[in-house]
Amino acid sequence: MSDAPSRKRLLGWTLAALAGASLVTTFVVLPAEYGVDPTGFGRLTGLTRMGASREVAVAPPKRAGAVTIDAARPWRSDTLTIRLETGGQEGSDTERKVWMVPGQAFVYAWTSDGEVYSDFHGETLPSPRIQVMTYRTTDPLKGEPARGLSGAFTAPMEGFHGWYFRNLEGRPVTVTVRLAGFYELRPYPPPGVTPKGH
């Protein structure tokens, strides 16, 4: 008997994650990152002062106050398998990203059979100027998770969102990323674009 969750249960989890991510975005992320405070919670807690000093302004989601967001396409799920060669050699790091627009969201879980450094971030297209936002890094050398992490994510801007992984082992390592939600699989980096170095 399979232990995999049913499609109905997975959809329920995805919708619950979307609702939770929307609330966190409205009450915390928008005031702290962009100085946008539709509820007044950021002013009461001082979060809006954090957003006021940002050098690069990224437009907030168009429907920042919405708890639900209509989707033009049905949700999808994918499993990305990434093989990283021995650490310290060519091919020991890579990036995997998906394309999203503001308000789209997914739940994720990545696991690795060895220690890896990870950098979860997003970036816009380079024209007129590339904007990069780091969401979460995990560095085993600092005692942070080395073999996996899971959570929910709501895109704050249009662009590519995903992970940079670097193998820290003296042997090949396989990373498995599972996604479910609203996004597109597009070639990354886009043709003619060189990703920024790490």
Whether 146 is in a domain gets the answer yes
Q: Which of the listed ranges 5-9, 23-27, 35-39, 97-101 does the model predict with the highest average pLDDT?
A: 97-101
| Residue 116 backbone dihedrals phi, psi, to 5 degrees | -135, 150
* 27 has pLDDT over 70: no
Rounded Cα gap, residues 44 and 38, in angstroms: 12
pLDDT at 180: 96
Q: What DSSP state is assigned to residue 94? A: E
The residue type of 66 is A
Please count the CA atoms within 13 angstroms of the CA of 60 that sit on its side-chain side. 20
Q: What is the mean pLDDT of residues 42-71?
A: 59
Percent of the chain predicted with pLDDT > 70: 71
Measured distance CA(96)–CA(80) in Å, rounded: 8
**Would you say residue 163 lies in a domain?**
yes
Give a yes or no: residue 165 inside a domain. yes
Q: Is residue 177 part of a domain?
A: yes
Residue 120, domain extent: 76-181
Is pLDDT larger for residue 94 or for residue 57?
94
Beta bridge partners of 161: 98, 122
The strands making up 148-154's β-sheet, listed across from edge to edge, are 76-84, 173-181, 105-112, 148-154
Task: Determine the average pLDDT of the residues in 20-30.
Answer: 70
Q: Does residue 19 sit within a domain? A: no
Q: Are the CB atoms for 48 and 35 separated by under 8 Å?
A: yes
pLDDT at 53: 47
How far apart are alpha carbons 57 and 52 in whole angstroms? 10
d(CA 22, CA 93): 32
User: Which residues lie closer than 8 Å to 140 by C-beta, 6 or more apart?
Assistant: 115, 116, 117, 146, 168
Domain-located, residue 9: no
Query: What pLDDT sits at residue 54?
Result: 44
Please count the structural domains in the chain: 1
129-161 pLDDT, tens digit per residue, is 888 999 999 898 888 878 899 999 999 999 999
In a domain, 22, yes or no: no
Residue 4: inside a domain, yes or no?
no
Residue with the bigger pLDDT between 99 and 15: it is 99
Q: What is the rounded CA–CA span in Å between residue 19 and residue 168?
A: 36
Contacts made by residues 14-21, CB under 8 angstroms, sequence distance 24+: 14/75, 14/105, 14/106, 14/107, 14/180, 14/181, 17/105, 17/106, 17/107, 17/152, 17/181, 18/68, 18/69, 18/105, 18/152, 18/154, 18/181, 19/67, 19/68, 20/152, 21/105, 21/152, 21/153, 21/154
Q: What is the per-residue pLDDT for 23? A: 72
pLDDT at 14: 82
pLDDT of residue 62: 58
CATH number of the domain within which 100 lies? 2.60.120.380
